[in-house]
Amino acid sequence: MLNYVFSNPLYLRFREVLLCMIDMGMVFMSFLLAYWVRNDFLIPNLTNVNLGSLLLYILTIFVVYLVSFFAFKIHKSLWKYIGPVEVIRISASVGVSTLTLLAFNIIFHHSMRFSSVIFTAGILTVLLMLNVRLGYRLLRRKEIQDSANIKNAIIIGAGDGGYILSKELQQNKQYKQIKMIGFVDDKRVHKMVSGYEVLGDTYDLPQIAQQHKIQVAFIAIPSATKAELRRIADLCQSLKLETKIMKEGNDFFENGIPRNYPIEDISIEDLLGRGEIKLDQDEVRSYITNKIIAVTGAGGSIGSELCRQIIRFKPKQLIMIDINENALYMLEQEFNRNKVHGKMDGSIDVLSFIASIRDFSAIHQIFKEQKPDVVYHAAAHKHVPLMETRPQEAIKNNVFGTNNVINACIKNEVSRFIMISTDKAVNPTNVMGATKRMTEMILQVNGNNGVTKMAAVRFGNVLGSNGSVIPIFKKQIEEGGPVTITDKNIIRYFMTIPEAAQLVLQAGYYADKGEIFVLDMGEPVKILDLAEKMIRLSGYKPYEDIDIVEIGLRPGEKMFEELHLRGEITSKTKNDLIFVNQAIDIRKDSINEYLAALSDALYKEMPAEQWRQMLLEFIHGKGVEKHG
C-alpha cells in the first residue's frame, strides 16, 4: 500500500506541499486540543465569538508556524530518516513559533489565558509531529520485512559503519528479505546499538550463528586490516554464511543523512593485500607538489592508479602519455568529473598525449615542450604468453621504448625518472621478463648521468590489473567453470594496485643513480588456494559445483617468482616495505653493443626461440659475436 502511495506521480510532484499540509493539520489539531484542555474539557459556547477575530488568530498561528517550518526546512526532511537531528530541528522550529506567538499575545492582547493555550499547543505539536513520523518509519520497516524467505542476519562491527548499515537494512527495500538479529563486535559485547544487542565477539560467531539460525553476515568494519578481514571471512565461510561487506568510505553522513554505502559480496580483493600504505607525505610531496609530472602508459592499470595517487599530492600539471586512446580518454574524463564534483583540485592542469614510446621524436617533443620535472615510466608489454609468440614486439616496446624515454629524460634535463619493473625480470625464463631485465640494465648504466636521478621499482603480481589471474578466475566461475590453473603447487606474490602505486611514489623519493627498489610483497599465495577461496566466495563448492583443472605451465612461466638477483646487494630503506638493490657494475659499451645487435636483428627473420635465446644470453652477460 505504501509503495503505491509513494510511487504515485501526483505524490512525487507535490510531496513537499502535501507534507507541509499534514504538519499544519497537526498544528491545528494541537491548538484545538490545547483550547479544549484549557476549557476544562467542555465544549465552548461559540455564539458570542467574534468570527473575524477567530479567523485572524488562526491565520496568525498558521503564518507563524509556516514561516518557521520553512526556515528550518521541515518540509524537506525525509521521514524514514527520523533521528536526533530531526527531533532537534522540529523542536527548535516549534519553539520559535511558540515564543513568537507568546510575544504577539502579550503585546497585542495582554491575555495570560491564551498564553497557556499557545504553550500547551506547542508541546502537543512536537509530540504529534514526532509520533506521526515514527509511525511512518515503523510502517515502512514492517512492510519491508513482511515477506517470505526472510533471512536472519548479523552485522559484524558495531561502530559507525555497523550503525549506518543497520539503518540501511531497516529502511532499504533492497534488503526486505533480511531480518537483523544483532551485532557481533570484539570490543562492545552486550552493549546496545540502534536497538540491537551486541551478541558476542567474532570468536563467539559459531555459537551465535547456531543459536539464532543466522544465514547472512554483513562485515562493517572499514578500519579492519586485511588480516582481520581474512580471519572473519574464513570463519563465515566455515559456517556457510552468505557474506557481504560494506566498502570503505570517509564520510558517514551527507547533509545529515546516512550515506548509502555500497554493500557487496565479499571479494578476494577485499582479503588480499595490506590496504593503504603509510607514506611519508612530506617526502613524496617534496618532489611532486607544484611540479610537472609525466606518466607513460597512463591508461594502463598501474599507470592510471599512479595518476590518481599523484593528483592527491597536487602537482602543478599532470601529463598523461599513452598509445591507447580509449583508456587515456576515459581517464581524462574521470579527472574532469572529479573536478566538477569537487573531488579534485581544479587548478591542476591535466594534459593527455597520444604517443608511442617506440617513437623517440614524439616523446622528446612532448618533454621538450612540457618540461616535466618527474617522469614515471609504466608503459610496457607485459603478457608473458603473448610476448613468447612475438618477441620482437616486446623488444621494440619494452627495450627500445624504455631506452627512448630514458634518453629523452636526460636530453631534456628531467630531474627524476622512475621506471616500473617486475619480479619476472629476476633470472628470467621468458621473453617479457628478459626484456624487463634489459630495461633495468639500461637504466643502471645511465644512472650516473649527472642530470636525471633514476630508479626502477620491482614488484610482483598486481590484483585486478588487466590480464591478472583474478579477473580470469572470476570469468571462469561466472561461466560455471572449470577454473584452470597452470600447476597446483605454483605460488605467486600479490599486491593491490593502490598499494603498488603508493610504494612507487615513496620509492621515487629515494631515486638517485639507477638503484632498483624492491617492494615487500607480503606472504606468497598458493594459486590453488586462491582458486578454491574465490569459488567459495562466489557461493559454490570447489570440485563439486565448479571443478579446478590443472593445465600445465605456460610457455616461459616459472613455478616460483623471485625478487632478487644473485649478486645484488640488498638493504632496507626508511620504509619497512621498500628495499633497495644497489646497481650491479655493468659496462655501458656492452649495453650499447646489445642494443645495436637487437636493432640489427629486428630486420631479420628469426624464429621466436632464437629471439628468446638471444635475449637471455645478453642479460647473462654473454657476447654478441654470434649474433653480429
Residue 625 within a domain: no
Q: What is the per-residue pLDDT across 128-176, written as a single tens digit (0 to 9) for each?
A: 887 887 777 766 666 555 555 678 888 888 887 888 788 777 766 666 6
Cα angle at 559 between 554 and 562, to 5 degrees? Answer: 120
Instruction: Please state, for a pLDDT cut of 90, what percent of the chain lies above it.
Output: 20
Residue 565 lies in a domain: yes
Do the domain assignments include residue 104? yes
Question: Same domain, yes or no, for 51 and 198?
Answer: no
Total domains, the chain: 3
Confidence tier at 601 by pLDDT (50, 70, 90) = confident
187 falls within a domain: yes
Is the dihedral angle over the CA atoms 302, 307, 313, 316 positive or is it negative?
A: positive
Per-residue pLDDT tens digits for 315-337: 999 999 999 999 999 999 999 99
User: Bigger pLDDT: 192 or 560?
Assistant: 192
Which of 110, 189, 134, 111 minimizes the C-alpha distance to 156? 189
- Provide the pairing of β-strand 349-354 with 374-377: unpaired
The answer to whether position 628 is within a domain reads no
Same domain, 172 and 91: no
Q: Are residues 262 and 315 in the same domain?
A: no
Is 275 a domain residue? Answer: no
* Listed residues 144, 166, 192: the one ending a domain: 144
* Residue that is last in its domain, among 235, 266, 297: 266
With respect to residue 626, please indicate whether it lies within any of the assigned structural domains: no
State whether 344 and 441 are in the same domain: yes
Residues with Cβ < 8 Å from 178, sequence gap 6 or more? 150, 151, 153, 169, 216
pLDDT tens-digit series, residues 87-138: 788 888 888 888 888 888 777 765 666 777 888 888 888 888 878 877 777 6
pLDDT higher than 80, residue 84: no
**Whether residue 462 is found in the same domain as residue 568:** yes
Confidence of residue 250 (pLDDT cuts 50, 70, 90): very low
- What does pLDDT average to over the chain? 80
Note whether 295 and 224 are same-domain residues: no
Extract the C-alpha cell encoding 516. Answer: 632498483
Cα separation, 257 vs 259, whole angstroms? 6
The grid cell for 511 is 631515486
What is the average pLDDT across 427-436?
Answer: 87
d(CA 207, CA 337): 48
pLDDT-derived band at 350 (thresholds 50, 70, 90) equals: very high
Residues 215 and 231: their CA atoms lie apart, in Å, by 18
288 and 433 share one domain = yes
Q: Active-site residue numbers?
A: 424
User: Cell numbers 477567530 label which residue?
Assistant: 54
Q: Are strands 578-581 and 513-519 parallel, antiparallel or unpaired?
A: antiparallel
- End-to-end Cα, the chain, rounded Å: 85
Strands 253-254 and 192-193, by their bridges, are: unpaired
Cell representation of residue 509? 623519493
Nearest in space to 79 (alpha carbons), one of 20, 147, 121: 20
Q: Are residues 382 and 312 in the same domain?
A: yes
| Residue 31 backbone zone (phi > 0: left; psi -120 to 50: alpha; other: beta) | alpha
What's the pLDDT band for 521 if we cut at 50, 70, 90? low
87 domain-assigned: yes
434 and 314 both lie in a single domain? yes
Range of the domain at 259: 151-266
Polymer length in residues for the chain = 628
Per-residue model confidence (pLDDT) at position 141: 61
Residue recorded with cell 610504494? 503
Mean pLDDT confidence for 515-525: 77
Residue with the larger pLDDT of the pair 45 and 285: 285
CATH number for the domain harbouring residue 261? 3.40.50.720
> Among candidates 548, 627, 618, which has minimal Cα distance to 590?
618
Query: Which residues are 245's β-sheet partners?
Result: 219, 264
Least trusted range by pLDDT, from 48-52, 85-89, 339-343: 48-52
More confident of the two residues 1 and 508: 508
Which residue, of 236, 266, 296, is where some domain finishes?
266
If one counts every other C-beta atom within 10 angstroms of the C-beta of residue 564, the result is 16
Q: Look at residue 265 in the predicted model and tell me its pLDDT.
A: 65
Same domain, 65 and 195: no
pLDDT of 83 reads: 64
* Co-location of 63 and 9 in the same domain: yes
Task: Using the structure block, give the residue that is written with the C-alpha cell 659499451.
Answer: 589
| pLDDT of the residue at 256 | 39
Close Cβ partners of 504 (under 8 Å, ≥ 6 residues apart): 302, 306, 376, 418, 420, 457
Q: Are residues 239 and 357 in the same domain?
A: no
In whole angstroms, how large is the CA radius of gyration of the chain?
A: 34
Q: Band the pLDDT of 522: cuts 50, 70, 90.
A: low
